[in-house]
Structure formats: C-alpha cells, structure tokens
Structure 1
C-alpha cells in the first residue's frame, strides 16, 4: 500500500525538502503543496525510473559524497580563476571517456556527476560503445581528464554498486 503512494520515498523526501528550501516555507499551505508535489511527481514519473542496482557499500558512498563535494568546491574555484584570467589560455575539448561499467543507471549517474562538477559537462552516454562524451572547459591533457573521471568517479561507483 505504501509503495503505491510513495514508489520512490527518497525522491519524495528530496522533492519536499527542495520545495521547502526554495519557497522558504513558513506557512502550512506552502508545506501542504510541497507534500502534494512530493507525492504526485514520483507517481507521474514512476514509469520512467529504472530500477537502480543495490548499493552494496554504503560507507563507500558516504566517503564518495565527501570527495565529490570537495571536488565541486575546488572545481568552482578553478573555473572562477580560469574565466577571470585570459581566455586564450583555455583549451576546451570534447573527450570520449571509455567506460568499464555496463549498467545504464550507473553510467547515467556518472554522467550526472561529471556534469555537476564545474568545468565539465557530459554530453552523451553511448551505450552501444560504452563511452561517455564529455565537454571540458579546459582540457590541455585529455588523457589526464579521462584518468581523473575513471579513477575518482567510475571506480568509486563500481565499488559502491558492485557492478
């Protein structure tokens, strides 16, 4: 019964919390609307959500979130310095990152992680060739970017989800 109303309880919680933060909810009506959205949005999008593989190493996931948060902060600082400085020093590039993992959900998660890190945007997850296409604001050494993505993010995801 509960799964029928809340097919993705964590998503519902995140929608509600995000709604409360964005609206700076102080009234009961705004919180009720957030609760309704937290129930309705997952119900309407349930058919689009794949079943993620089980998280087998949650402690590794916590460590990864800390590393990822630190990467976001340092990448913001680096990108800010780069765009304030001379733009002719930048070496933008499209880079193909070959993937070792073969789970579509985890590959998409990796693409999202890369996109959330300032200075890089994942363009496509090619599930035929298992390649992640990434655009980097500054990639004078594309091989170093590939190594960083594979070692810092892909390897950690493979360990967390045992895939």
Structure 2
C-alpha cells in the first residue's frame, strides 16, 4: 500500500531527485523557496511524463550507483590535475596519445551509455565509437604508455562496477 502510494507521487524517484538538485543549482539559491519549487517540479514533471516511460529502467542498486558517482567525481578531479600538468609542462613530442579498444562485457544499453559518458567526462579520455555489435568501445586517450593496460584499467575501474549495478 505504502509502496503504491509512493510510486503514485514519485513515479520516477531518481528523476525527481535530479530535477530538484538541478533546479536548486540553476537558480543558485539554496533557500527554502528554491527547494520547494524544485520539489514541486520534481513531483509534477515525472507525473506528467509518466505515460511516456512505460519501459523505463528501474534504478538498480542505488547505493552502489551513488558510490560509483562519487568515484567518477574523484576521477574527474584527479584527471583535471593530470591533464593540466600535461598541457602546461609537456611538449607535443612527449605526448603518448593512443586509440584504445575496450572489449565490453556489459549488455545493458544504460550501463554502456553510462560507461561511455564516464570515459568522456574524465579529462584525457574520450569515447569515440561503439562497435556495431555493441561489444567494443573505441576510446581516445590523451596520454598513455600502454593502450592495453588503459583498456584493462577502464574495465576494472568502471565496467566492473557498472556490471554490479546493472546486471
């Protein structure tokens, strides 16, 4: 009964949370008015669009997803410093730029999209293409000595965690 009521008010709880946070951040005001208006939007928009999401993916393992998001934010911060160091103190002759093919074990389109987005968000790497079969991801690395090790690092650091979350 309570679960049904909760889903009636919050049909997409993650979307509600994201809408509230985005609204508060966009208004750049952390007062009660911003939080209330964000909550109103966070409730009204998902209810109004609920009919258009019949096969929406469920939020799998939200605590593991939160831990993954914290890891990605940390990696983005560290990569920013590394890329700044490369840009400021290395010459182009010392740059070890490579294309890296990352074979994927992920099957969920949401997980593959999140992996590609994570790679692109992290400075120094860009997801360039997904194979036709969806089994390999082409990544450009700004500076890596060993492309195979870079692929292993991506699989271990990100893909393994996404597989735990989505599959």
TM range, smaller chain: 0.7 to 0.9
TM-score of the pair, normalised by structure 2? 0.74
Contact 1:16 1:37 in 2 (8 A): yes
Are 2:60 and 1:54 equivalent residues in the alignment?
A: yes
How many pairs were matched up? 159
Are 2:104 and 1:99 equivalent residues in the alignment?
A: yes
Are 2:26 and 1:15 equivalent residues in the alignment?
A: no
The 5 A counterparts of 1:1-163 are: 3=7, 6-25=10-29, 26=31, 28=33, 34-35=38-39, 37-39=41-43, 42=46, 43-44=48-49, 46-47=52-53, 50-52=56-58, 54-55=60-61, 58=63, 60-88=64-92, 89-126=94-131, 128-161=133-166, 163=167
RMSD: 3.1
Do the aligned partners of residues 62 and 105 (structure 1) sit closer, same or farther apart at CA in structure 2, a change above 3 Å counting? closer
TM-score of the pair, normalised by structure 1? 0.76
Contact 1:20 1:31 in 2 (8 A): yes
Structure-2 separation of matches of 1:5 and 1:52 = 16
Q: Which runs of 5+ in 2 are unaligned?
A: none
Residues 43-87 of structure 1: per-residue CA shift (max 9 Å, x gap)? 4595497414732x84x4454444333322211110110111234
**Structure 1 residue 38: deviation in Å?**
3.2
Do the aligned partners of residues 82 and 35 (structure 1) sit closer, same or farther apart at CA in structure 2, a change above 3 Å counting? same
Residues 130-162 of structure 1: per-residue CA shift (max 9 Å, x gap)? 11122222233211210110011111121233x
Q: Which runs of 5+ in 1 are unaligned?
A: none
